[in-house]
Amino acid sequence: MRVLVACEFSGIVRSAFVGRGHDAMSCDLLPCERERPDGWDGHYRGDVRELLSDPSYAFDLMIAFPPCTRLASSGARWFKGREQEQDAAIAFVRLLLAAPVARIAIENPIGVLSTRIRKPDQIIQPWQFGHGEVKATCLWLKNLPLLVPTQLVEGRTARVHREPPSPERWKNRSRTLQGIADAMADQWGNLT
């Protein structure tokens, strides 16, 4: 399966698919934090719109993590006066949902997408996939089944919420946890 992981600088989800034998690449404006397991860089540094509009690229599955700065409820106090930026962020998500890819998942926190586009198909938590923490994550799905929890964890903390201020805070809060990446690769990578 050819997989595009859009707006991913960490390489976590991409590597999960590659580790299961898929032809997967990530794409982000930032450089990737990790190499693919097979040694190929596997990362397109640039705007995902360039890949989606290039007919030489064709993907069976796209998992996209659009920036949530102007979309997440956690940043709502900063929305006033930035309506144009928010409209551009929503338009970007609409473009991703309309991409010429048969199966699509869009990931974002609880926020304005629920009212400006549609309610998410699923809300997942890290503690459903082997991580002892809380972080409600919405998934908007096109031709994909809901993710089935793989490992429920009892002790739950709000690590992401308690991330101290730092220049790396936004990166630390936005990385996909390995258990969720593995569930995506295991459950969505087997679709034909």
Q: Residue 32, SS3? A: coil
Residue 3 and residue 24 in contact, taking contact as beta carbons nearer than 8 Å: yes
Q: Are 179 and 130 in contact (CB under 8 A)?
A: yes
Output the average pLDDT for the chain. Answer: 86
- Alpha carbon separation from 191 to 19, 78, 103, 171 (Å, rounded): 16, 40, 10, 30
Residues 7-32, mean pLDDT to the nearest whole number = 92
- Dist CA 48 CA 91 (whole Å): 14
Pairing of strands 61-64, 103-109: parallel
* pLDDT bucket at 5, cuts 50 / 70 / 90: very high
pLDDT at 147: 98
Closest CA to 62 of 2, 119, 120: 2
Q: Which residue from 160, 125, 117 is spatially nearest to 141, judged by alpha carbons?
A: 117
pLDDT value at residue 20: 95
- At residue 7 the predicted structure's pLDDT band, cuts being 50, 70 and 90, is very high
Over residues 116-161, the pLDDT tens digits come to 899 999 999 999 999 999 888 999 999 999 999 999 998 777 766 6
In sequence order, the 6+-apart residues with CB closer than 8 A to the CB of 145 are 187, 188, 191
pLDDT of amino acid 155? 73
Q: Is the pLDDT of residue 19 over 90?
A: yes
User: What's the whole-model pTM score?
Assistant: 0.89
User: For position 73, what pLDDT does the model report?
Assistant: 54
131 vs 172, higher pLDDT: 131
Report the distance separating Cα 79 and Cα 96, nearest Å.
22
User: What band does 62 get if pLDDT is binned at 50, 70 and 90?
Assistant: very high
Strand spans (E) along 34-172: 43-45, 61-64, 103-109, 122-124, 137-142
Confidence of residue 24 (pLDDT cuts 50, 70, 90): very high
